[in-house]
Chains A and B, each alone.
Chain A
Amino acid sequence: MAVRVLAFFDSRYQTSTELQALTGEADPWRGLREGRPLSRQHPPLNTPTSLGYYDLSNADTAARVVGLARYVGIDGFVIDCSWSGDHYVTGSAPVLPFCDHSFTLAYRWRNDQDPFWQAPAAAENRSRRAAALIAALSTGPATDLRGRRLVILASPDALHAPTATLALLREEAQKAGWPGIYFAGTSADGTARFLDNGFDAALDPGPADWQPCPPENQPAGFEFLEAMAGLRDSVDFFDRFYSYGSSVVLRMMNRGNRGKVFPCVFPAYHDWLIHQDGGATNLIGTNTQLFIQFLENAITFSRERFGPDESVVFLQSWNGWNEGSQIEPSLLDGDLIFNATRNAIDRARYTERSHSAAAPIDQDLAQRSTLLCDALRVL
């Protein structure tokens, strides 16, 4: 089976009362329409072109969105599942009619925003809540890894009792008729350290949550005082700026030593729009060719590192307009990133076919070689 490329998808771009209630925002595009950079150092906001400020509630629009993602070579979307206060919400309904076995859905449970699971609770309540979660995650053709339905946790560290929680969810999934759950946890530090808790794999966090390199801006105390006195651009102090090149290269460096962690690839990232009071992460010096190679090599890595039925790469994102990571055609980039994504996937799929005749290396042999070489390094 080919490596699957799954793109994070923001389902809020629709007229849905429950999503509006969840976000407290009647117009999901308002922030993008009205946002203005707070500093000349903030990368400009980009706005949609060919798809426009769309409403997924319109079936034709949803069809076009999924159609474009398929055209690029993406195999499915990952949609957030959040607790609204009395039930779980995904907002996936508009795209469901356009998904099938060749374009599947996976869900990321925003457990970091779900306080119930961050503290002890009565067993009965936990079961009821788990059943509700499984019901919400049951919609749409599922993304299967190793024959089990993929569920991503936004923050494994936020779970009060991770092992028991995963076991409970597996139990509820079984009751719901699922073939099983494949749990992937977003790793806060890019490692697979929490797999012992019952997770099957980890995945790289997004640029805002983890950077393998130091920020480019590290102002000293004097500069802080200047900023406070209005003599200096305050984002120098309050935001973090990283080089896109260093950031993506270091994410993949010595990656094999980080354990079973799926790569997360992004063409750009700057979230100053959602961090107006500081604390934004901004990648500078984005480079389309580097992005193509990032994606292509991540697919290669996933193919060579993981089993054929659990090779996956995550793309952040299909429509993360508020963080500048979108693949959809845009005003500033035209279809540059859109086509770059397609090119990278085309390249990777072609080389995947040519490489497929080479047999995978036995994991036991790989482990023995690693232990031996580590010992020789020490000696």
Chain B
Amino acid sequence: MLSGLAVSGPDKRIEAFDFTFSKGALRETEILDSTTSPPGRYVLEVARRIATAAPSAQLIAVANPLLPLGSRQLIDWLKTGLTGPAVISGHDNFPLCYVLPRRCVDELARFLTVLSTADADIDARLLAGILGEDVIQTKFPGLSIAPYPVSTSTGWFQGTERQKVLKILATHATHLVETNPAWRTLPFAVYHPYHAGSIVFFSVASRFVSTPLFQRHIVCSSYQDIVAAAGGTLVPEWLDQPWLPRDNSIGEPQYFAKALERLGPATTDNMFISFMRYSRISGFGPFHMVDQDRFSLGESITAPDQTWALQQRRTLKICQQPPAPLKVLFHINGGVPIKSYPDKQAKIVFQALRSFGVEISVIGRSDLASVGARPVTADKTDLLLQAVQDHHIFVGLDSFPHHFVRNVLGWPTIGLFGATTAANFGGGWDAHYRSLDAAMPCHPCNGDHQCPVFKRQECANYVPAEQVVAAVLAMASTVYGFRA
């Protein structure tokens, strides 16, 4: 739930607004669901929507997006106290609602993205700093939010540690506003340093933002080649730190603390930073990650036709080699069995395609040479690029090679989806792209290590071999005129 109030005219007339996280229709009362957006981005978006709908509003009250709050509740709380900027909180200091003057939306919009939404004192001080006027703080003695749940019915996953990150960045922003006279001109950076596939999406997204709020991108220096190839518009702020291991041995907040230390004051004292690692459950909305990242970066996206996923503006390139022999490059190893395309099926795919004269290569799987799949090394971006250019079609999992090959290189690609969904991580559907999954009701489970339904190591949602074979041959026919 995302709600707010507009206060207009001398009689302080109140209009109520209730929005929901969109499931795809993007109706007038719906806001795009973005996993990379911090709660502050939603404060801004709700305020924007209200300002548009109520052009004469002088004050705009926005409920904390982290909370299941409707406008009716806000009216009950605020009907007598809407006089100026304010932060309303529970007695545990958890913010319930922000009352913002209109210029917060018009001139100071980007500062709302760094509100902690978890500490009313910090946020009130930040707002006072950017507004240059007193901000009233009101606490409701009978209401306490803590402990905030780790995940919520509206799709947030937060936890105390993650909210500490938001508090640190809001405090950092307050410090900049209070100590740096040139704070209004400082750039805004997004903290989204890893992983490779996410960097591809983020970089692509930055090219399709008409009203950017951010100028810099804090990103691991090991991804320099990806950032360069993806042609993002944000200036990279290189973080010399290995990317976060995927085995949960280091928590995201701990990594963040080290990252701030590694960036050092010379960097952090000269920019505002917004946390844009995943804050919401990524499969909650049907929107592609590029659209979710575009929203995070400032694009409102108020209609389905505005989504990147529904627009045809992708790079399309094809292999320049003759169509026969057809060469297909596979990436089927997701690191853990649940993320990998099952070997048994893969072997049948390879044998079947070879019977049509197709030459098969597979990334990082020398053990499949026995079924005629030529092993290829592609652990560096330039090696992947070289390997792709030698093949007509790429077939890959929901993983970096897939995202890079499709979204950056624009190569004919088939995506295999198991525990995650193509709607979020696919490649934009046209004659050069197809995603395959078995449409099971458990999909997406986002399982990491084993199937939560059958408790097996393999994902049952991967399609059987025949569908992969048919998809490869169909694409080869459409794109290259190959006849099996």
What separation, in Å, do the CA atoms of A372 and B435 have in the docked complex? 22
Quick one: which of A344, A346, A356, A358 contacts B433, CB cutoff 8 A? A358
Known contacts: A350-B24, A350-B25, A357-B312. The answer to whether A365 contacts B484 by CB under 8 A is yes
Tell me the count of chain B residues lying within 8 A, CB to CB, of chain A. 48
The distance from the CB of A288 to the nearest CB of chain B, in whole angstroms, is 10
Instruction: List the count of A-B residue pairs having beta carbons below 8 Å apart.
Output: 131
Distance (Å) between the CB of A372 and the closest chain B CB?
Answer: 5
- On chain B, the residues within 8 Å of A342 by CB distance are 23
A343 cross-chain contacts in B, Cβ below 8 A = 23
| A347 neighbours in B (Cβ, 8 Å) | 23-24, 285-286, 423
A97-105, A186-194, A231-239, A296-304: which lies at the B interface?
A296-304
Q: Which residues of A contact B423 (CB under 8 A)?
A: 347, 350-351, 354
> A293 with B352: in contact, given A346-B24, A370-B466 (CB under 8 Å)?
no
Instruction: Chain A residues near B304: list those with CB within 8 A.
Output: 350, 353
B453 in contact with A245 (CB, 8 Å): yes
User: Is A346 a contact partner of B25 (Cβ separation < 8 A)?
Assistant: yes
**What is the minimal beta-carbon distance from B137 to any residue of chain A, in angstroms?**
35
In the complex, identify which listed stretch (A8-16, A249-257, A325-333) lies at the interface while the others stay far away: A249-257
User: A interface, how many residues as a size bin?
Assistant: 35 or more
A74: min CB distance to chain B, Å: 14
Residue of A349, A358, A361 near B430 (CB, 8 A) is: A358
Task: Please name all residues of chain A whose beta carbon is closer than 8 Å to the beta carbon of B22 when the two chains form the complex.
Answer: 346
B286 touching A290, Cβ below 8 Å: no
Partner of B478 from the list A253, A255, A355, A359 (CB cut-off 8 Å) is A359
- A373-B465, A373-B466 given; A359·B439 CB < 8 A: no
A122 contacts chain B at the CB level, 8 A cutoff: no
Min CB gap B70→A, angstroms: 14
Q: Which single member of B310, B352, B433, B438 contacts A369 (CB below 8 Å)?
A: B352
* B469 interface residue (CB < 8 Å to A): yes
Q: In the complex, which residues of chain B have a beta carbon less than 8 angstroms from the beta carbon of A248?
A: 441
**Minimum C-beta distance from B463 to chain A (A):** 8
Does B230 touch A at the CB level, under 8 Å?
no
> Is B439's CB under 8 angstroms from A290's CB?
no
* Residues B274-293 near A (CB distance < 8 A): 285-288
Give the Cβ gap from A316 to chain B, nearest Cβ, in Å.
14
| Least Cβ–Cβ distance between A228 and chain B, in angstroms | 36
Q: Is the pair A355, B429 in contact by a Cβ cutoff of 8 Å?
A: yes
> Is B439 in contact with A361, judged by CB distance below 8 angstroms?
no
Chain A residue numbers with a CB within 8 Å of B467 are 256, 366, 369
Q: Which residue of B lies closest to A291 (CB)?
A: B441
Q: CB of B48 within 8 A of chain A?
A: no
Q: Which residues of A contact B309 (CB under 8 A)?
A: 354
B385 on the A face (CB < 8 A): no
Asked if B91 is at the interface of the complex by the 8 Å CB criterion, the answer is: no
B473: contacting residue among A291, A294, A365, CB under 8 A? A365
B29 within 8 A of A: no
User: What are 10 sample pairs from A and B whose C-beta atoms fall under 8 A apart?
Assistant: A245-B453, A253-B440, A254-B438, A293-B441, A298-B441, A346-B25, A350-B286, A350-B304, A351-B24, A356-B429
Interface residues of B, Cβ cutoff 8 Å to A: 22-25, 285-288, 304, 307, 309-310, 312, 348-349, 351-352, 355, 422-423, 428-431, 433-435, 438-444, 453, 460, 464-467, 469-471, 473-474, 477-478, 484
A residues neighboring B (CB under 8 Å):
245-246, 248-249, 251-256, 290-291, 293-294, 297-298, 300-301, 304, 342-344, 346-351, 353-359, 361-362, 365-366, 368-370, 372-374, 376-377
**9 new A-B pairs (CB below 8 Å) besides A293-B441, A293-B442, A372-B469?**
A254-B464, A342-B23, A343-B23, A347-B285, A348-B24, A349-B24, A368-B470, A372-B355, A373-B349
